[in-house]
Structure 1
Amino acid sequence: MIVLVRHAYPAVDREVPPSTWHLSAEGRMAAEALCSRLVRETVALPCLVSSPEPKAVQTLAPLGAAQTMEEFREVHRPHSEEGRDWKSRRLAYLSGERHEGWEDPDEVVDRFETGLANARQLAAGRSLVIGTHGMAMTLWLSRTRGLDDPIAFWSGLTMPDAVRIDGDGPERL
Protein backbone atom coordinates (compact mmCIF):
# COMPACT_ATOMS: atom_id res chain seq x y z
CA MET A 1 0.00 0.00 0.00
CA ILE A 2 1.11 3.54 -0.77
CA VAL A 3 -0.18 6.58 1.08
CA LEU A 4 0.63 10.05 -0.23
CA VAL A 5 0.50 12.73 2.45
CA ARG A 6 0.20 16.37 1.55
CA HIS A 7 2.07 18.43 4.12
CA ALA A 8 0.34 20.29 6.94
CA TYR A 9 -0.05 24.07 7.04
CA PRO A 10 3.28 25.92 7.12
CA ALA A 11 4.29 29.13 8.85
CA VAL A 12 4.20 31.33 5.74
CA ASP A 13 7.07 33.79 5.32
CA ARG A 14 6.96 35.55 1.95
CA GLU A 15 10.54 36.75 2.48
CA VAL A 16 11.95 33.25 1.96
CA PRO A 17 11.20 30.51 -0.60
CA PRO A 18 8.29 28.19 0.28
CA SER A 19 10.68 25.25 0.01
CA THR A 20 12.24 26.43 3.31
CA TRP A 21 9.01 26.91 5.28
CA HIS A 22 8.45 24.94 8.47
CA LEU A 23 5.11 23.90 9.93
CA SER A 24 3.07 26.36 11.92
CA ALA A 25 1.91 25.39 15.42
CA GLU A 26 -1.50 24.60 13.93
CA GLY A 27 0.19 22.54 11.22
CA ARG A 28 2.14 20.48 13.78
CA MET A 29 -1.06 19.66 15.67
CA ALA A 30 -2.85 18.71 12.44
CA ALA A 31 0.10 16.51 11.38
CA GLU A 32 -0.01 14.70 14.73
CA ALA A 33 -3.73 14.09 14.34
CA LEU A 34 -3.39 12.79 10.78
CA CYS A 35 -0.49 10.50 11.66
CA SER A 36 -2.42 9.09 14.64
CA ARG A 37 -5.35 8.36 12.35
CA LEU A 38 -3.07 6.70 9.77
CA VAL A 39 -1.62 4.41 12.43
CA ARG A 40 -5.09 3.47 13.71
CA GLU A 41 -6.73 2.97 10.33
CA THR A 42 -4.24 1.92 7.71
CA VAL A 43 -0.52 1.86 8.26
CA ALA A 44 1.51 -0.52 10.41
CA LEU A 45 5.30 -0.10 10.48
CA PRO A 46 5.49 1.83 7.22
CA CYS A 47 8.52 2.89 5.28
CA LEU A 48 8.60 6.70 5.51
CA VAL A 49 9.88 8.79 2.61
CA SER A 50 9.51 12.52 2.20
CA SER A 51 10.25 15.51 0.08
CA PRO A 52 13.29 17.26 1.57
CA GLU A 53 11.20 20.39 2.25
CA PRO A 54 10.89 20.94 6.02
CA LYS A 55 7.08 21.17 6.00
CA ALA A 56 6.81 17.71 4.39
CA VAL A 57 9.41 16.09 6.68
CA GLN A 58 7.78 17.63 9.76
CA THR A 59 4.33 16.41 8.70
CA LEU A 60 5.52 12.78 8.84
CA ALA A 61 7.62 13.27 11.99
CA PRO A 62 4.92 11.89 14.35
CA LEU A 63 5.28 8.56 12.50
CA GLY A 64 9.09 8.58 12.74
CA ALA A 65 12.11 9.70 10.75
CA ALA A 66 11.60 9.77 7.00
CA GLN A 67 14.25 9.31 4.36
CA THR A 68 14.18 12.33 2.08
CA MET A 69 14.01 12.08 -1.69
CA GLU A 70 14.27 15.07 -3.98
CA GLU A 71 11.80 13.45 -6.39
CA PHE A 72 8.86 14.21 -4.07
CA ARG A 73 9.46 17.98 -3.75
CA GLU A 74 6.90 20.49 -4.93
CA VAL A 75 6.78 21.92 -8.44
CA HIS A 76 9.73 24.28 -8.90
CA ARG A 77 8.62 27.85 -9.52
CA PRO A 78 10.12 31.29 -8.93
CA HIS A 79 9.93 32.49 -5.33
CA SER A 80 8.82 35.89 -6.64
CA GLU A 81 5.59 34.25 -7.88
CA GLU A 82 4.31 33.54 -4.38
CA GLY A 83 2.67 36.90 -3.79
CA ARG A 84 0.96 37.23 -7.18
CA ASP A 85 -2.48 35.65 -7.28
CA TRP A 86 -0.92 32.36 -6.22
CA LYS A 87 -4.08 30.27 -6.23
CA SER A 88 -5.28 31.15 -9.74
CA ARG A 89 -1.76 30.62 -11.12
CA ARG A 90 -1.61 27.14 -9.55
CA LEU A 91 -5.06 26.27 -10.90
CA ALA A 92 -4.07 27.44 -14.38
CA TYR A 93 -0.86 25.38 -14.17
CA LEU A 94 -2.78 22.27 -13.15
CA SER A 95 -5.13 22.91 -16.09
CA GLY A 96 -2.20 22.77 -18.49
CA GLU A 97 -1.16 26.43 -18.77
CA ARG A 98 2.61 26.94 -18.84
CA HIS A 99 4.17 29.67 -16.71
CA GLU A 100 7.63 31.00 -17.44
CA GLY A 101 10.14 29.64 -14.95
CA TRP A 102 7.83 26.89 -13.65
CA GLU A 103 8.90 23.26 -13.89
CA ASP A 104 7.47 21.43 -16.89
CA PRO A 105 4.53 19.23 -15.73
CA ASP A 106 5.87 16.21 -17.64
CA GLU A 107 9.15 16.52 -15.75
CA VAL A 108 7.26 16.66 -12.44
CA VAL A 109 5.41 13.45 -13.27
CA ASP A 110 8.60 11.72 -14.47
CA ARG A 111 10.57 12.60 -11.33
CA PHE A 112 7.66 11.58 -9.09
CA GLU A 113 7.44 8.23 -10.90
CA THR A 114 11.21 7.74 -10.50
CA GLY A 115 10.88 8.55 -6.81
CA LEU A 116 8.12 5.96 -6.43
CA ALA A 117 10.22 3.27 -8.06
CA ASN A 118 13.12 4.07 -5.71
CA ALA A 119 10.86 4.29 -2.65
CA ARG A 120 9.25 0.93 -3.44
CA GLN A 121 12.68 -0.67 -3.46
CA LEU A 122 13.49 0.99 -0.16
CA ALA A 123 10.18 -0.21 1.34
CA ALA A 124 10.95 -3.84 0.41
CA GLY A 125 7.32 -4.91 0.59
CA ARG A 126 6.26 -2.74 3.54
CA SER A 127 3.58 -0.07 3.33
CA LEU A 128 4.95 3.19 2.01
CA VAL A 129 4.01 6.63 3.33
CA ILE A 130 5.29 9.55 1.26
CA GLY A 131 5.31 13.15 2.46
CA THR A 132 4.83 15.41 -0.53
CA HIS A 133 3.03 18.48 -1.89
CA GLY A 134 -0.29 19.33 -3.47
CA MET A 135 0.61 20.25 -7.04
CA ALA A 136 3.22 17.52 -7.56
CA MET A 137 0.90 14.87 -6.12
CA THR A 138 -2.07 16.12 -8.16
CA LEU A 139 -0.12 16.13 -11.43
CA TRP A 140 1.13 12.59 -10.83
CA LEU A 141 -2.31 11.27 -9.86
CA SER A 142 -4.00 12.91 -12.84
CA ARG A 143 -1.49 11.57 -15.35
CA THR A 144 -0.95 8.07 -13.96
CA ARG A 145 -3.90 7.07 -11.77
CA GLY A 146 -6.99 8.26 -13.61
CA LEU A 147 -7.75 11.32 -11.51
CA ASP A 148 -10.56 12.85 -13.57
CA ASP A 149 -10.63 16.42 -12.28
CA PRO A 150 -7.25 17.64 -11.02
CA ILE A 151 -8.60 21.12 -10.31
CA ALA A 152 -11.36 19.84 -8.02
CA PHE A 153 -8.96 17.39 -6.38
CA TRP A 154 -6.28 20.02 -5.66
CA SER A 155 -8.87 22.56 -4.54
CA GLY A 156 -10.32 20.01 -2.13
CA LEU A 157 -7.03 19.02 -0.51
CA THR A 158 -6.61 19.98 3.12
CA MET A 159 -3.39 20.59 5.00
CA PRO A 160 -2.49 17.87 5.80
CA ASP A 161 -4.31 15.34 3.67
CA ALA A 162 -3.74 11.70 2.79
CA VAL A 163 -4.53 9.63 -0.30
CA ARG A 164 -4.20 5.85 -0.51
CA ILE A 165 -3.04 4.42 -3.83
CA ASP A 166 -4.43 0.92 -4.18
CA GLY A 167 -5.53 -0.86 -7.33
CA ASP A 168 -8.24 1.15 -9.04
CA GLY A 169 -7.22 4.68 -8.18
CA PRO A 170 -6.68 7.23 -5.45
CA GLU A 171 -8.81 7.09 -2.31
CA ARG A 172 -8.91 10.00 0.12
CA LEU A 173 -8.33 8.87 3.70
Structure 2
Amino acid sequence: MGNKQGIFYYWNEKGYGILEDLLIRFPNAVAIFDAQGDLRKPRELAEKYPGRIKFAWYGGDRLGGELVRWKEESSDDIIIDRNRMIQHLIDEFTLGNRIHLYGSEPEWEQYWQHFKAIYRVVEENEKTLRKRFIWRRNGDDHLVHCTNYWRAGIYLLGESGQGGFI
Protein backbone atom coordinates (compact mmCIF):
# COMPACT_ATOMS: atom_id res chain seq x y z
CA MET A 1 0.00 0.00 0.00
CA GLY A 2 1.33 3.40 -0.87
CA ASN A 3 0.94 6.73 -2.56
CA LYS A 4 3.18 9.00 -4.61
CA GLN A 5 5.39 9.55 -1.54
CA GLY A 6 6.28 5.84 -1.42
CA ILE A 7 5.21 2.45 -0.10
CA PHE A 8 4.41 2.15 3.57
CA TYR A 9 2.70 -1.20 4.05
CA TYR A 10 2.39 -4.66 2.55
CA TRP A 11 0.82 -7.84 3.76
CA ASN A 12 0.20 -11.44 2.74
CA GLU A 13 -3.36 -12.53 3.00
CA LYS A 14 -5.36 -15.19 1.19
CA GLY A 15 -8.65 -13.44 1.90
CA TYR A 16 -9.79 -9.89 1.37
CA GLY A 17 -10.51 -8.73 4.94
CA ILE A 18 -7.50 -6.44 5.36
CA LEU A 19 -7.99 -5.02 1.89
CA GLU A 20 -11.63 -4.18 2.48
CA ASP A 21 -10.80 -2.65 5.86
CA LEU A 22 -8.27 -0.40 4.09
CA LEU A 23 -10.80 0.59 1.42
CA ILE A 24 -13.17 1.65 4.21
CA ARG A 25 -10.46 3.40 6.24
CA PHE A 26 -9.09 5.30 3.22
CA PRO A 27 -12.15 6.35 1.19
CA ASN A 28 -10.10 7.78 -1.70
CA ALA A 29 -7.81 4.76 -2.06
CA VAL A 30 -7.80 2.63 -5.19
CA ALA A 31 -7.03 -1.12 -5.28
CA ILE A 32 -5.32 -2.65 -8.32
CA PHE A 33 -5.68 -6.40 -8.91
CA ASP A 34 -3.90 -8.81 -11.21
CA ALA A 35 -6.49 -9.34 -13.94
CA GLN A 36 -5.30 -12.86 -14.67
CA GLY A 37 -6.11 -14.35 -11.28
CA ASP A 38 -9.38 -15.37 -9.64
CA LEU A 39 -11.52 -12.25 -10.03
CA ARG A 40 -14.73 -13.25 -8.26
CA LYS A 41 -14.06 -11.27 -5.07
CA PRO A 42 -12.35 -8.33 -6.82
CA ARG A 43 -15.39 -7.98 -9.10
CA GLU A 44 -17.65 -7.98 -6.01
CA LEU A 45 -15.47 -5.25 -4.52
CA ALA A 46 -15.68 -3.30 -7.81
CA GLU A 47 -19.47 -3.32 -7.51
CA LYS A 48 -19.32 -2.31 -3.84
CA TYR A 49 -16.67 0.42 -4.37
CA PRO A 50 -17.36 1.85 -7.85
CA GLY A 51 -14.39 3.49 -9.55
CA ARG A 52 -11.96 2.33 -6.86
CA ILE A 53 -11.07 -1.12 -8.18
CA LYS A 54 -8.78 -1.45 -11.22
CA PHE A 55 -7.46 -4.52 -13.03
CA ALA A 56 -3.89 -4.78 -14.33
CA TRP A 57 -2.87 -6.77 -17.40
CA TYR A 58 0.61 -7.32 -18.75
CA GLY A 59 0.72 -6.45 -22.43
CA GLY A 60 3.47 -7.23 -24.89
CA ASP A 61 6.64 -5.21 -25.09
CA ARG A 62 6.04 -1.91 -26.87
CA LEU A 63 9.13 -0.36 -28.39
CA GLY A 64 9.28 3.21 -27.19
CA GLY A 65 5.59 3.15 -26.31
CA GLU A 66 3.93 3.91 -23.04
CA LEU A 67 4.90 1.92 -19.96
CA VAL A 68 1.31 2.04 -18.73
CA ARG A 69 -1.98 2.85 -20.42
CA TRP A 70 -5.70 2.40 -20.02
CA LYS A 71 -7.05 -0.52 -22.05
CA GLU A 72 -9.90 1.73 -23.15
CA GLU A 73 -10.51 5.32 -22.18
CA SER A 74 -13.45 4.63 -19.86
CA SER A 75 -12.19 1.29 -18.61
CA ASP A 76 -10.94 0.09 -15.23
CA ASP A 77 -8.38 -2.08 -17.04
CA ILE A 78 -4.73 -1.06 -17.04
CA ILE A 79 -2.20 -2.44 -19.54
CA ILE A 80 1.43 -2.57 -18.34
CA ASP A 81 4.54 -3.23 -20.43
CA ARG A 82 5.85 -5.91 -18.05
CA ASN A 83 9.59 -6.01 -18.79
CA ARG A 84 10.07 -2.29 -19.30
CA MET A 85 8.08 -1.48 -16.17
CA ILE A 86 10.09 -3.89 -14.01
CA GLN A 87 13.28 -2.29 -15.35
CA HIS A 88 11.84 1.14 -14.57
CA LEU A 89 11.11 0.03 -10.98
CA ILE A 90 14.64 -1.30 -10.54
CA ASP A 91 16.03 1.98 -11.88
CA GLU A 92 13.85 4.00 -9.52
CA PHE A 93 15.00 1.95 -6.53
CA THR A 94 18.69 2.06 -7.45
CA LEU A 95 19.37 5.22 -9.46
CA GLY A 96 18.30 8.04 -7.25
CA ASN A 97 16.16 6.50 -4.53
CA ARG A 98 12.90 7.67 -6.13
CA ILE A 99 10.77 5.01 -4.44
CA HIS A 100 10.72 5.27 -0.67
CA LEU A 101 9.89 2.34 1.62
CA TYR A 102 8.65 3.45 5.01
CA GLY A 103 9.35 1.31 8.06
CA SER A 104 12.29 -0.64 9.42
CA GLU A 105 14.62 -2.86 7.42
CA PRO A 106 13.34 -6.10 9.05
CA GLU A 107 9.77 -5.18 8.07
CA TRP A 108 10.83 -5.16 4.41
CA GLU A 109 12.92 -8.37 4.40
CA GLN A 110 10.30 -10.52 2.65
CA TYR A 111 9.68 -7.74 0.13
CA TRP A 112 13.40 -7.61 -0.66
CA GLN A 113 13.52 -11.41 -1.08
CA HIS A 114 10.94 -11.16 -3.87
CA PHE A 115 13.10 -8.63 -5.72
CA LYS A 116 16.15 -10.85 -5.22
CA ALA A 117 14.25 -13.64 -6.99
CA ILE A 118 14.15 -11.83 -10.34
CA TYR A 119 16.92 -11.55 -12.91
CA ARG A 120 17.28 -10.10 -16.39
CA VAL A 121 18.31 -11.96 -19.55
CA VAL A 122 18.79 -10.83 -23.13
CA GLU A 123 16.64 -12.56 -25.71
CA GLU A 124 17.18 -12.21 -29.46
CA ASN A 125 14.42 -12.59 -32.03
CA GLU A 126 15.79 -15.01 -34.64
CA LYS A 127 13.85 -13.38 -37.49
CA THR A 128 14.47 -9.70 -36.76
CA LEU A 129 17.70 -10.12 -34.77
CA ARG A 130 16.27 -7.56 -32.36
CA LYS A 131 17.50 -8.00 -28.79
CA ARG A 132 15.34 -7.30 -25.78
CA PHE A 133 15.60 -7.66 -22.03
CA ILE A 134 13.30 -10.14 -20.32
CA TRP A 135 12.81 -10.40 -16.56
CA ARG A 136 12.61 -13.95 -15.25
CA ARG A 137 12.31 -15.38 -11.75
CA ASN A 138 13.82 -18.14 -9.66
CA GLY A 139 11.50 -17.84 -6.66
CA ASP A 140 8.51 -15.90 -5.39
CA ASP A 141 8.16 -12.57 -7.15
CA HIS A 142 4.57 -11.61 -6.26
CA LEU A 143 5.60 -8.43 -4.46
CA VAL A 144 7.52 -7.27 -7.55
CA HIS A 145 4.28 -7.40 -9.51
CA CYS A 146 2.34 -5.73 -6.70
CA THR A 147 4.88 -2.93 -6.87
CA ASN A 148 4.44 -2.78 -10.64
CA TYR A 149 0.69 -2.35 -10.14
CA TRP A 150 1.25 0.35 -7.50
CA ARG A 151 3.61 2.20 -9.86
CA ALA A 152 1.10 1.89 -12.72
CA GLY A 153 -1.50 3.46 -10.45
CA ILE A 154 0.84 6.34 -9.66
CA TYR A 155 1.38 6.92 -13.39
CA LEU A 156 -2.28 6.88 -14.31
CA LEU A 157 -3.99 8.28 -11.20
CA GLY A 158 -1.47 9.42 -8.62
CA GLU A 159 -0.53 12.74 -10.10
CA SER A 160 -4.17 13.80 -10.08
CA GLY A 161 -4.17 13.81 -6.29
CA GLN A 162 -6.47 10.82 -5.82
CA GLY A 163 -5.78 8.78 -2.66
CA GLY A 164 -3.28 5.97 -2.20
CA PHE A 165 -3.09 2.57 -3.82
CA ILE A 166 -3.72 -0.78 -2.20
Instruction: Calculate the TM-score normalised by the size of structure 1.
Output: 0.28
Q: Which protein is richer in strand relative to its size? A: 2
Q: Relative CO higher for 1 or 2, CA cutoff 8 Å, sep ≥ 6?
A: 1
- Greater share of helix: 1
